[in-house]
């Protein structure tokens, strides 16, 4: 896989803000996120249609697409930060001008529903993007110091991080030992699963699959992992790292169920490849930013992950 690194971010650069999925109920969070970026010394351009509402979407498809592509067209914009996830990003994938993006590679940041866009940009443009903090979520609050420091280092430094120094509060779990090297591909498990059979899922051969989820029952996690296995996706990966599965509990506690931890353990045993779980990424305040498409090394015996190159140029 040939990848393209976006240019690094410098103080004073212009950051674009878009909402390609759902709208945000409290618009003051957008203002808070913008002020956060400005306090750090960046200029901000908010998409022309940000703030619109179309049912569960942040405006209709044409408006959300216009804002997104407008940021890649604008040569002043050096990075694009999504406001939130929710739903709707996948509706845009067939309409994106990927040649435009490829000609103007930029930092793109988000997670959750934004996974669909990140995987499509990796598949169609080779663009490395960032599974990290969003403007209307982490940046609108008092951002966790670890989350903040790692994110800004990744997008502003051309020096590789090397071994990731996970916070002391993190308790990584090795579900299957071993070591592997590959490009980091994945994000939200539901979004990745929905891209199966489309032209937007990257080549998974030799990759390090990263997965996280929110508000899905254990049997649904099981079903998605089973689907990836039956589609031979899991056969192709070199290793798996699992983040947080937030609020992924049975809806009816009176009925028997496996836990998510048991589902992951069974999958790891069957897969028999390096498998690290409980990493700090996903729908949590304290998170590791993951550069999607970056070459990494995973040591499931030592509970370690190493970024083998810088994420920006």
Q: Where are the alpha helices (DSSP H) in 41-114?
A: 61-73, 98-103
Region(s) of the chain under CATH 3.40.50.10740: 14-156
CA distance 167 to 144: 11
Give the pLDDT of residue 72: 99
Q: Which residue in the block uniquely carries the two structure tokens 């509970």?
A: 303
What's the gap between Cα 235 and its chain centre?
22
Overall average pLDDT of the 94-109 stretch? 99
Structural domain 14-156, CATH architecture: 3-Layer(aba) Sandwich (3.40)
Tell me what the pLDDT averaged over the chain comes to: 98
Give the pLDDT of residue 180: 99
pLDDT-based confidence at residue 281 (cuts at 50, 70, 90):
very high
pLDDT-based confidence at residue 223 (cuts at 50, 70, 90):
very high
Structural domain 162-307, CATH architecture: 3-Layer(bba) Sandwich (3.50)
Residues taking part in catalysis = 112, 212, 283
Region(s) of the chain under CATH 3.50.30.60: 162-307
**Token reading at 176:** 């299957």
Give all strands (DSSP E) within 168-301, no chain letters. Answer: 173-176, 179-188, 208-214, 239-246, 275-277, 290-292, 295-299
Give the pLDDT of residue 269: 98
Give the pLDDT of residue 4: 99
Give the pLDDT of residue 270: 98
Q: What is the pTM of this model?
A: 0.98
């Amino acid at each position: 896989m040939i990848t393209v690194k976006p240019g690094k971010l410098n103080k004073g650069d212009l950051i674009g803000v878009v909402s390609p999925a759902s709208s945000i109920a409290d618009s003051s969070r957008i203002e808070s996120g913008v002020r956060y970026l400005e306090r750090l010394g960046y200029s901000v351009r908010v998409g022309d249609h940000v703030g619109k509402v179309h049912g569960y979407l942040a405006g209709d498809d044409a408006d959300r697409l216009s804002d997104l592509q407008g940021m890649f067209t604008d040569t002043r914009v050096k990075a694009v930060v999504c406001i939130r996830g929710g739903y709707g990003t996948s509706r845009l994938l067939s309409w994106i001008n990927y040649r435009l993006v490829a000609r103007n590679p930029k930092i793109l940041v988000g997670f959750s529903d934004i996974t669909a866009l990140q995987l499509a940009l990796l598949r169609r443009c080779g663009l490395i993007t960032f599974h990290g903090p969003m403007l209307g979520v982490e940046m609108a609050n008092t951002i966790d110091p670890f989350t903040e420091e790692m994110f800004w280092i990744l997008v502003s430094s051309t020096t590789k991080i090397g071994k990731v120094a996970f916070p002391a509060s993190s308790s990584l779990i090795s579900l299957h030992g071993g070591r592997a090297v590959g490009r980091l591909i994945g994000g939200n498990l539901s979004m990745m699963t929905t891209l199966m059979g489309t032209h937007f899922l990257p080549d998974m051969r030799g990759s390090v699959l990263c997965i996280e989820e929110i508000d899905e029952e254990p049997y649904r996690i099981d079903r998605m992992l089973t689907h990836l296995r039956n589609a031979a996706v899991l056969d192709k990966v070199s290793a798996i790292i699992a983040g947080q599965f937030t609020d992924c509990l049975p809806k009816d506690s009176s009925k028997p169920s496996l836990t998510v931890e048991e589902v992951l353990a069974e999958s790891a045993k069957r897969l028999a490849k390096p498998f690290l779980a409980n990493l700090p990424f996903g729908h949590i305040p304290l998170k590791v930013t993951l550069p999607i498409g970056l070459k990494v090394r995973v040591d499931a015996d030592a509970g370690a992950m190493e970024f083998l190159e810088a994420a920006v140029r």
